[in-house]
Structure 1
Amino acid sequence: MRYGYIGLGNLGGHLAMSLVRGGFDVTVYDLDPKNAVRHVEAGAKHAATIGELVGQVDHVFTCLPSPVISEKVLDEILKHAKPGMCWIENSTLGRDDILRLSALATQKGLKVLEAPVTGGVHLAARGEITVLVGGDEALFNTHKAALEKIGNRMFFMGPLGSAAVIKVITNMLAFIHLVADAEALMLAKRGGLDLAQSWRAITASSGTSFVHETEGQLILNGSYDIAFTMDLALKDLGFAMKFGEDFGVPLDLAKLTQDTFIKGKAAYGGHAQSTQIAKLLEDKVGTDLRADGFPSRLT
């Protein structure tokens, strides 16, 4: 099958590259043509417009920063799509968003799979990210080989909308853990402990988390460079709070975390790294969380 990939940003660029490296016939498009250079060098084709891309492929992947942009891109796809084409959405959307956009696509004869990913940009670069899939199971099986190239762990969650819910849950936990990790590391620093050794001790303890073991290193380096912004964190926390209302679940920790990220955005801007939420605490108490031997980016 010939696949198109639209959206070659921090995350989508790696997902598209995994398809290319996996031997698939891939055509790519991004608003910034420079983002497509490495894909073309690796064997992908490049389309100058979304319409041109859709005309050259059988199915289309997208990875985009917001539901508004996903809808705009889908509208352009629908102008050129062939009946039976499948739209596979790697973006993080709310459940209502994916169901609404799926209805628009279905009216035009498109099939839809949601396949948001989780684990971080560094795992996407290695083809080792986790893929969460929602939709028709037979359709999932049709595209399973391609999805397996994107990530090395995959979970079929059920009907369309199911993957949106679990993806938001995983991100909600990650942001809670991030704020908690900054507080834990600050306690260690202000308590006079060696921060590098404290990080290792936490990693080997019952208090560890994926976020501590990955993003915690970027805090200690001082780069904070996780390739994920405050704006994106707040988007996902907004989805989580909406689910809390819809499902009748009070999300006290998530609300406190959302409030903290609102302060972080006010202090550093929406395009600041989400990991800079730790800097909010550093600035408040006048103490940095630096330690030697930690990377500026995860690989």
Structure 2
Amino acid sequence: MSYGYIGLGNLGGHIAMSLIRAGFDVTVYDLDPALAERHIKAGAKWAASPKELAAQVDHVFTCLPSPTVSEKVLGQILEGLKPGGTWIENSTNGRDEMQRLAGIAEAKGVKVLEAPVTGGVHLAARGEITVLAGGEPALFVQHKAALEAIGNRLFHMGPIGSAAIIKVITNMLAFIHLVADAEALMLAKRGGLDLAQAWAAISASSGTSFVHETEGQLILNGSYDIAFTMDLALKDLGFAMNFGREFGVPLDLASLTNQTFVKGKAAYGGSAQSTQIAKLLEDVLHTDLRAPGFPSRLE
């Protein structure tokens, strides 16, 4: 099977490279052709548009910044992809958006597998990200080899929309943990502790989290460079708040976290790193959270 990959940004670029390294026949496209240079050097082919790409492959992956962009690109894919092909969506979309877009594709004879990923850009670069899939079980099996090339843990969650729900839940937890970790590190700093030792102690305790062990290092370095923006965080928190209202679940912590990220965007801009949410405390208290020995990016 041949695959196309559209969207070669921080996340999609790594996922596409994983497919290429695994030996799949891959054609790529991005609005910025420069992003495709490393993929072409590694053996991928280039297409001049989503329509042209779709006409050259059996199935198409996408990783795009919003449901609006996903819908626009899907329209172009459907102009080229043969009936029986599959659109595999790695982007994070809301359940309703994913179900609606799947309906548009299926009306054209194109099958749909939602496959948002979680774990961070550094794991995507290693081909070790977690893949959360939604769609027909047979379709999941059909593309399992490709999904295993991009991630080392796969979860088939159910029909279309199921993966969107669990992805939003995991991101909601990550943002709550990020705000909590900033507060914990600030308590340690203001309490006179060595921050590097405090980070290590928390990592070895019942209070640790994946976010502390990864993004906490970027806070202590001061780069905050997680390759995920405030705008994207607010998009995902918005999805979570909508689910809370729909399912009748009070999301007190998520609501507070959402407001904290609204403040973060107001202070640093929507394109600022989501990890810069810790900087709100640093700026208010005029206290930095730097410690030596921590990386500027996760490997």
Return the TM-score normalized by structure 1: 1.00
Q: Which amino acid aligns with 2:81?
A: A
Q: Where do residues 1-299 of structure 1 align in structure 2 (5 Å cutoff)?
A: 1-299=1-299
Runs of 4+ in 1 over 2 A off after TM superposition: none
In 1: Cα distance, 2:298 partner to 2:80 partner: 39
User: How far did residue 119 of structure 1 move?
Assistant: 0.1
Give CA deviations for 1:18-43 in whole Å, capped at 9, x if unaligned.
Answer: 00000000000000000000000000
Give CA deviations for 1:55-88 in whole Å, capped at 9, x if unaligned.
Answer: 1100000000000000000011111221101000
Give CA deviations for 1:132-166 in whole Å, capped at 9, x if unaligned.
Answer: 00000001100000000000011010111000000
In 1: Cα distance, 2:26 partner to 2:197 partner: 46
Q: Secondary structure at the match of 1:291?
A: coil
Q: Which amino acid aligns with 2:51?
A: G
Q: Secondary structure at the match of 1:113?
A: strand
User: How far did residue 271 of structure 1 move?
Assistant: 0.2
In 1: Cα distance, 2:278 partner to 2:79 partner: 45
In 2: Cα distance, 1:270 partner to 1:163 partner: 26
Q: Secondary structure at the match of 1:40?
A: helix
User: How far did residue 50 of structure 1 move?
Assistant: 1.1
Q: Is the 8 A contact 2:29 2:49 kept in 1?
A: yes
Q: Is the 8 A contact 2:231 2:271 kept in 1?
A: yes
Q: Is the 8 A contact 2:218 2:226 kept in 1?
A: yes
Q: Which amino acid aligns with 1:232?
A: L
Q: Which amino acid aligns with 1:48?
A: A
In 2: Cα distance, 1:290 partner to 1:69 partner: 37
Q: Is the 8 A contact 2:57 2:81 kept in 1?
A: no
Structure 2 gap ranges (5+): none
Q: Secondary structure at the match of 2:282?
A: helix
User: How far did residue 290 of structure 1 move?
Assistant: 0.3
What value does the CA root-mean-square deviation take over the aligned residues?
0.4
User: How far did residue 49 of structure 1 move?
Assistant: 1.1
In 2: Cα distance, 1:17 partner to 1:47 partner: 16
Q: Secondary structure at the match of 1:201?
A: helix
The answer to which of 249-258 and 71-80 deviates more is: 71-80
In 2: Cα distance, 1:282 partner to 1:212 partner: 17
In 1: Cα distance, 2:103 partner to 2:52 partner: 24
In 1: Cα distance, 2:64 partner to 2:235 partner: 13
Q: Is the 8 A contact 2:122 2:298 kept in 1?
A: yes
Give CA deviations for 1:77-124 in whole Å, capped at 9, x if unaligned.
Answer: 111221101000000000001000001111111100000000000000
Q: Is the 8 A contact 2:53 2:80 kept in 1?
A: no
Q: Secondary structure at the match of 2:189?
A: helix
In 2: Cα distance, 1:209 partner to 1:172 partner: 14
Q: Is the 8 A contact 2:4 2:53 kept in 1?
A: yes
Q: Which amino acid aligns with 1:102?
A: A
Q: Is the 8 A contact 2:51 2:78 kept in 1?
A: no
Q: Which amino acid aligns with 2:68?
A: V
In 1: Cα distance, 2:95 partner to 2:78 partner: 21
Return the TM-score normalized by structure 2: 1.00
Q: Is the 8 A contact 2:115 2:133 kept in 1?
A: yes
Q: Which amino acid aligns with 2:223?
A: S
Q: Percent identity?
A: 80
Q: Which amino acid aligns with 2:290?
A: R
Structure 1 gap ranges (5+): none
